[in-house]
């Protein structure tokens, strides 16, 4: 089990490591710029993803921090995508490819749950 | 200055969490609500971000060393992610007071489970799982001999309890290991170390399902979440390092007392004093 799990394990470990490093760098950069620039507190509102992306290119502190959070949120999602393809392509394990797809669908559903407040 | 204290909160939660085998949520949420006076919905959203940071960092180690059973984790995630969405949506509809009361109950159960562990030191109990696993993070261990996924029992009931663990995660901003580890170990017959590593591996995906909803609801302020998450990243590394080197018996007793005190305070806040 452990041996045939190597491909999936390696892919997943790499996705998790890459995601957490990128996210930590963005958050650290955003927080550092925020502290240095002395950004006005009232402008630190919560941003949507497109604003966060655009603002990050302009090195806006709050946008960088938001992007870091979004990438942290995307990392587990990506590791499910990675597991799906690893089960499907490398291990030919249809059952667990299907289960991964199920988890992916439920996760995506969380994006479309209507805002409660 | 606030950012510094928030970072310290994350550091505290991450390091003591790894040291004591707790998710950081039981530390982050009381500190943010009771000391920083933040709304409990914000505290839960921020805590979920911290929980993802802890789990992602730890999962790299467990997955690479083959301790977590990825197939079992993926299967049970069908339950936890659906539960987390239910929990997060529910949290948006119930009052802060109800959440304070529920969190107080969770804290009491958490301290009871920790207390039991300190009483029978040496004996292996399901709640004790996270510490031995973290401590053995450096030894060369792969999925336990004789264990295979085919031998796992009671899968439908395991899925049901995973759903409950997910609801708890989405509703109260914690990882849900308190439910998942005993369920895998006692109900499904998974070895303790595999159960703890698999639980930790699952937490990231579970917390994400809930956190997305808090994010879309505007409950995750980057200025609060980022210092906490960075603190948790750093703290979790320091905590797992220290875990293998110091005895945590006394520390656990102190935390049992602190959690009982905090639970009473939060219950009083929930009852509207």
The interface pTM score, or ipTM, of the predicted complex is 0.86
The answer to whether B196 touches A38, Cβ cutoff 8 Å, is: no
Please tell me the total count of domains within chain A: 1
In angstroms, the CA B216 to CA B210 distance is: 10
Length of chain B: 273
Q: Do A83 and B66 touch (CB under 8 A)?
A: no
- A117 lies in some domain: no
Where in the sequence is the domain holding A105, given as residue range(s)?
6-110
Q: Of B43, B160, B50, give the one whose Cα is nearest residue B99.
A: B43
In this prediction, residue B184 has a pLDDT band, given cuts at 50, 70 and 90, of very high
Pick from B149, B207, B217: which is nearest to A116 by CB? B217
- A10 lies in some domain: yes
The answer to whether B22 touches B110, Cβ cutoff 8 Å, is: yes
Mean pLDDT on B61-82:
87
pLDDT digits (tens, 9 = 90+) for B98-135: 999 999 999 998 888 888 876 654 444 444 444 444 33
Contacts of A9 in chain B (CB under 8 A): 63-64, 66, 70
Q: What is the mean pLDDT of each run of 10 residues along chain A (117 residues)?
A: 60 85 93 80 64 83 91 90 90 93 93 67
Mean pLDDT across chain B? 83
Q: How remote is the C-alpha of A80 from its chain's centroid?
A: 11
Q: How remote is the C-alpha of B175 from its chain's centroid?
A: 3
The CB density around residue A113, as the number of other CB atoms within 10 Å, is 17
Contacts of A76 in chain B (CB under 8 A): 52, 55-56, 204-205, 207-208
What are phi and psi for residue B36, nearest 5 degrees? -95, -5
Task: For an interface test with A, give the residue of B72, B170, B226 to mutate (most A CBs within 10 A).
Answer: B226
The CB density around residue A18, as the number of other CB atoms within 10 Å, is 14
Comparing B16-30, B129-143, B206-220, the range with the smallest average pLDDT is B129-143
- A115 lies in some domain: no
Please tell me the total count of domains within chain B: 1
Rg of chain A over Cα atoms, rounded to whole angstroms, equals 18
- The reported pTM is 0.86
- A58 lies in some domain: yes
Where in the sequence is the domain holding B8, given as residue range(s)?
2-271
Mean pLDDT on B80-101:
93
CA distances from B27 to B60, B137, B227, B258, B262 (A): 23, 23, 15, 10, 10
Q: Of B157, B223, B231, give the one whose Cα is nearest residue A62.
A: B223
In angstroms, the CA B78 to CA A15 distance is: 20
Q: Do A106 and B81 touch (CB under 8 A)?
A: yes
Task: For an interface test with B, give the residue of A28, A41, A76 to mutate (most B CBs within 10 A).
Answer: A76
- A49 lies in some domain: yes
pLDDT digits (tens, 9 = 90+) for A88-97: 988 889 999 9
């Amino acid at each position: 089990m452990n041996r045939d799990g190597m491909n999936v394990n390696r892919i997943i470990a790499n996705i998790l490591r890459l995601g957490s490093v990128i996210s930590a760098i963005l958050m650290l950069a955003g927080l550092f710029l925020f502290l240095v620039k002395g950004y006005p507190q009232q402008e630190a509102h919560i941003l949507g993803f497109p604003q966060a992306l655009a603002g990050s290119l302009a090195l806006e502190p709050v946008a960088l921090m938001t992007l870091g959070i979004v990438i942290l949120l995307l990392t587990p999602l990506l590791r499910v995508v990675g597991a799906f393809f690893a089960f499907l392509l490398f291990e030919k394990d249809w059952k667990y490819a299907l289960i991964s797809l199920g988890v992916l669908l439920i996760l995506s559903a969380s994006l479309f749950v209507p805002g409660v407040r | 200055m606030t950012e510094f204290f928030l970072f310290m909160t994350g550091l505290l939660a991450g390091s003591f969490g790894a040291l004591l085998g707790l998710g950081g949520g039981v530390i982050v949420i009381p500190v943010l609500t009771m000391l920083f006076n933040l709304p409990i919905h914000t505290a839960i959203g921020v805590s979920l971000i911290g929980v993802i940071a802890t789990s992602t960092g730890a999962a790299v180690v467990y997955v690479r060393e083959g301790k977590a059973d990825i197939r079992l984790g993926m299967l049970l995630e069908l339950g936890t992610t659906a539960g987390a969405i239910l929990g997060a949506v529910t949290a948006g509809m119930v009052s802060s007071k109800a959440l304070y009361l529920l969190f107080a109950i969770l804290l009491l159960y958490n301290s009871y489970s920790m207390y039991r562990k300190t009483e029978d030191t040496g004996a292996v109990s399901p709640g004790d799982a996270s510490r031995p696993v973290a401590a053995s993070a450096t030894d060369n261990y792969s999925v336990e001999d004789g264990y295979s996924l085919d031998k796992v029992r009671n899968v439908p009931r395991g899925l049901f309890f995973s759903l409950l663990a997910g609801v708890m995660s989405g509703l109260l901003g914690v990882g849900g290991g308190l439910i998942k580890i005993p369920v895998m170990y006692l109900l499904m017959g998974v070895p303790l170390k595999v159960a703890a590593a698999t639980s930790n591996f699952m937490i990231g995906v579970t917390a994400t399902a809930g956190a997305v909803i808090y994010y879309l609801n505007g409950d995750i302020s980057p200025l609060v979440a980022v210092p906490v998450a960075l603190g948790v990243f750093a703290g979790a590394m320091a905590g797992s390092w220290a875990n293998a080197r110091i005895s945590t018996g006394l520390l656990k007793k102190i935390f049992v007392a602190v959690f009982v005190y905090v639970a009473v305070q939060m219950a009083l806040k929930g009852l509207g004093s």
